[in-house]
Amino acid sequence: MYTEGDPIADHRAPTGPIETRWDRRRFTARLVNPANRRGRTVIVVGTGLAGGSAAATLAELGYRVLSFCHQDSPRRAHSVAAQGGINAAKNYRNDGDSVWRLFHDTVKGGDFRARESNVYRLAQLSTAIIDQCVAQGVPFAREYGGLLDTRSFGGAQVSRTFYARGQTGQQLLLGAYQALARQIDAGRVESHPRTEMLDLVVADGRARGVVVRDLVTGAVSTHLADAVVLATGGYGNVFHLSTNAKGCNATAIWRAHRRGALFANPCFTQIHPTCIPPAGEHQSKLTLMSESLRNDGRVWVPRDPADRRTPGAIPESGRDYFLERLYPAFGNLVPRDIASRAAKNASDPERGVYLDFADAIARLGADVVKARYGNLFEMYQRITGDDPYTTPMRIWPAVHYTMGGLWVDYDLRSTIPGLFVIGEANFSDHGANRLGASALMQGLADGYFVLPNVIGDYLADAPFGDVDPGGVEDEVRDRVARLLAVDGDRTVESFHRELGRIMWEECGMERTDAGLRTALRRIPELRAEFWSRVKVPGRGESFNQELEKAGRVADFLELAELMCVDALHREESCGGHFRAESTAGGEALRDDHRFSYVAAWEFTGGPPVLHREDLVFDHVRPSIRSYA
Amino acid sequence: MNLTMRIWRQNGATGRLVTYDVPDLSPDMSFLEALDVLNERLVLAGEEPVAFDHDCREGICGMCGLMIDGVAHGPERATTACQLHLRHFSDGDTVTVEPWRATPFPVIRDLVVDRSAFDRIVEAGGYVSVSTGSAPDAHALPVPKPDADAAFEAAACIGCGACVAACPNGSAMLFTAAKVTHLGLLPQGRPERGTRASDMLAAHDDLGFGGCTNTGECTAVCPKGIPLSTITRFNADVLRAARSFSQGDKRR
């Protein structure tokens, strides 16, 4: 199924006191002088929080930047949909927060499967992110004195989450997009919307460019640079139904993986506990309800599973507030993996669990609840037809975020020199589970502060000489032609749906050895069937949305197999990954002795090769992650 | 439930409405999911599916946009097409589906239009000129809560283009005014308030968007409820800017 390769020796994190590692790394990193920066080109793929902020900041520094996104405008990257907020260790509340506490919470929240150096740096940079965004005019929520408001979020006992109503991601993204727009206007960024990266150009061992398809004309072309940055987001759409936008895909990172970049912890998927339950076979995606709802909403199920009364007709005595009962210290604010699993054990998908605001409305008044959550309530009502002010919401867990991604070192370098990977596309900072309000933080930390400070150390060796892109462009054209040539009798969507069912059942919230082996038998069969029966209409050299989807699903069919191999080999429960065979008293049982490492997989075309990066915890001692 | 859909099909310079019967729909489906169902059937029948733009399907990315029975985003108020559900239609209805129509939004294919003109308007000044790395502490500059809230209301614009599609003049004033209002209300955006407004207006006009005659169709269809008063603010900023500095002083 897989073979073992050499462990990863160098992750480039400085040693010594953790508080000064980032400062020391910045000081030792070589610089590129301003005149030379003008002659260096960097490709940034993706324009979400990570890619948009990176492209803008690199251009501010003076590099020439080529920016690509598949949407019709950089402003539509899926970071725009993040609702709840962004963490920062500002301690504006005087509630005991600090860089250390944010660091500690994030390592613990990730179930001790993240790299301490990275997480500490993330916590350090969090405060600068808020300052930067405020300076850009991001309209964060304010108190009457004019200062910034904060709220608490799942997995945290301090109030460190900055927010802009339920649309924090949108506002942060617009900040980055506007910074990017300023650089486009100044001529320092060349923007390519409606353009999809389909392969990576590696020459003389270095990443030197990308092959892209213009989604309007279908033209395939090659763009070269001194370095390539992937900021292409996560791969949750492997599961078909997820909270990801429909266009979110794994093609860029998967193609880079096939060209030599290691893929780390692919099975680490986050299941979000508060989504709107699916309503039928036709469902095209799932909609998240912000985790912040759990600040004031109480989660319950009927005490008697057979109780089929409407929620309003079930009296207090007939309700089981199971999160408050099972985890009294955190209650409804337990981390996402714990809340998701508890929901699954307490109910079923048809009914979901109830998220009830009756107490909050009685305590705070409907106006306060409306001010906090009004737009979320409207969205819920629009989708379900129910009014959350009078009827408890129905929620259910759904695939949300992928903690796995391309392996990167402390400098965000993949294993291909010159290929940097940032934001959700890399694996680095969240471990086996992601706490709320931490993804926006990582995207912006990478894009505004980390990458711009470390990429110079690589580019100091440039120029790298002329590139012969070889036959990559022809390979991309061949692949497009092959997809069109099958001309079978099944739609792309039907394959995606079937793959999603396998993945949700066997590699979702709860996994078993037997289930994963079943998936590993069925996925190659499904992939073979895809390449003999898929039907893609139209032509390659034209606007062709079915063709776009077909290429993405073809890659999901390969990535899904690696996810299952990774899940099978990790015989422990940790974070969002719950292995049914590895439990203690019904709770997840981590096995630090055997699995305290990052699993980084090498592509071979056959069984993948496992390279381990051992995780060392000097500052936050691994302990049983108790939220009771 | 069953619907009859008259859908604009265009591949090239001209297009036409084509009628499709779409049976076996569920009232719980979104309007886009009904198009998904139709498209799967078209693919299996060997026909080209209907091209339409969409992405987040949560009403926030602004990528979807359909003219449904002559109304941008359809019959429900303050709703994007992706958040419009079939329960608002009746079994047997005939529904006409067309792309946004405006000179600066050329049709790419079927229901897909090119809205990159919006990006050009933002590039002309829809930002605060601050480079990364030296921002003061976020608490250094308090913002009165009413200002922050009003700025947020304007910042909620998703850039979908419904305002343009609904306007008899094909004006993008509501979109442009939303950005000008958002940044102009905050102290961080105030130094560039005048230049921003006049530069963005100049880009708006150069791109071929029409003038505003306060018809109000834009706010009637806006999925985020951006109010017409933003346009008043925008006009005031443009007038103030015209008084306080000479035109043609393009900023960077």
Active site amino acids of A: 336
**What integer pLDDT is reported at residue B246 of this predicted model?**
55
Write out the E strands in chain B.
Answer: 3-10, 15-22, 67-68, 71-72, 94-98, 107-109, 112-113
**What integer pLDDT is reported at residue A616 of this predicted model?**
94
B182 and chain A: CB distance < 8 Å anywhere? yes
Which residues 3-42 of chain B have a CB within 8 Å of chain A?
Answer: 26, 28-30, 32-33, 36-37, 39-40
**Closest approach of A150 to chain B, Cα-based (Å):** 13
Q: Which residues in chain B are closer than 8 Å to A133, comparing Cβ atoms?
A: 138
Q: Which residues in chain A are closer than 8 Å to B115, comparing Cβ atoms?
A: 72-73
Triad A43, A45, B119: Cα angle to 5°: 100
| CA atoms within 13 A of residue A455's CA, in its CB half-sphere | 32
- Looking at chain B, which residues constitute the CATH 3.10.20.30 domain(s)? 3-98
User: Residue A476: is its pLDDT beyond 80?
Assistant: yes
Give the Å distances, CA to CA, from B123 to A57, A123, A447, B200: 16, 32, 20, 8
In the 8-state DSSP scheme, what is residue A450? I
**What integer pLDDT is reported at residue A102 of this predicted model?**
97
Q: From first to last of its 252 residues, what are the pLDDT tens digits of chain B?
A: 999 999 999 999 999 999 999 999 999 999 999 999 999 999 999 999 999 999 999 999 999 999 999 999 999 999 999 999 999 999 999 999 999 999 999 999 999 999 999 999 999 999 999 999 989 999 999 999 999 999 999 999 999 999 999 999 999 999 999 999 999 999 999 999 999 999 999 999 999 999 999 999 999 999 999 999 999 999 999 999 988 765 555 554
Q: Please, what CATH class does the domain formed by B3-98 belong to?
A: alpha beta
**What integer pLDDT is reported at residue B252 of this predicted model?**
43
- Looking at chain B, which residues constitute the CATH 1.10.1060.10 domain(s)? 115-246
Which residues 288-347 of chain A have a CB within 8 Å of chain B?
Answer: 288
Residue of A nearest to B160 (CA): A76
**Closest approach of A408 to chain B, Cα-based (Å):** 24
Longest dimension (CA), chain A: 75
Which pLDDT tens digit goes with each residue over A118-172?
Answer: 999 999 999 999 999 999 999 999 999 999 999 887 667 899 999 998 899 999 9
Interface test with A, best of B55, B108, B193, B250 (most A CBs within 10 A): B55
Q: Are B133 and A449 a contacting pair at CB < 8 A?
A: yes
Neighbouring-strand partners of residue A298: A356
Q: Are B44 and A137 a contacting pair at CB < 8 A?
A: no
Phi-psi region of A31 (alpha: psi -120 to 50; beta: other; left: phi over 0): beta
Q: Which residues in chain A are closer than 8 Å to B36, comparing Cβ atoms?
A: 282, 284, 493
Which of A131, A167, A449 is the closest to B136 by Cβ?
A131
**What integer pLDDT is reported at residue B65 of this predicted model?**
97
Q: Are A543 and B51 a contacting pair at CB < 8 A?
A: yes
Q: Which residues in chain A are closer than 8 Å to B129, comparing Cβ atoms?
A: 182
Q: What ipTM does the predicted assembly reach? A: 0.97
Size of interface A-B (CB pairs under 8 A): 216
Which pLDDT tens digit goes with each residue over A593-606?
Answer: 999 999 999 999 99
Model-level pTM? 0.97
B88 and chain A: CB distance < 8 Å anywhere? no
For residue A143, which of A129, A162, A126 has the smallest C-alpha distance?
A: A162
Q: Is beta strand A86-87 parallel, antiparallel or unpaired with respect to A161-162?
A: antiparallel
Q: Residue A289 — pLDDT band, cuts 50, 70, 90?
A: confident
Decide which of 3.20.20.140, 1.10.1060.10, 3.40.50.920, 3.20.20.120 is the CATH code for B115-246. Answer: 1.10.1060.10
Domains and CATH numbers, chain A: 272-400 (3.90.700.10)
Q: Which residues in chain A are closer than 8 Å to B122, comparing Cβ atoms?
A: 75, 177-178, 181
Interface test with A, best of B3, B119, B207 (most A CBs within 10 A): B119
Give the Å distances, CA to CA, from A297 to A331, A389, A470: 11, 11, 57
Q: Are A181 and B53 a contacting pair at CB < 8 A?
A: no
Which of A72, A137, A288 is the closest to B115 by Cβ?
A72
- Secondary structure of residue A249 in the 3-state scheme: coil
Count of Cβ atoms closer than 10 Å to residue B11 Cβ: 15
Which of A81, A148, A193 is the closest to B56 by Cβ?
A81
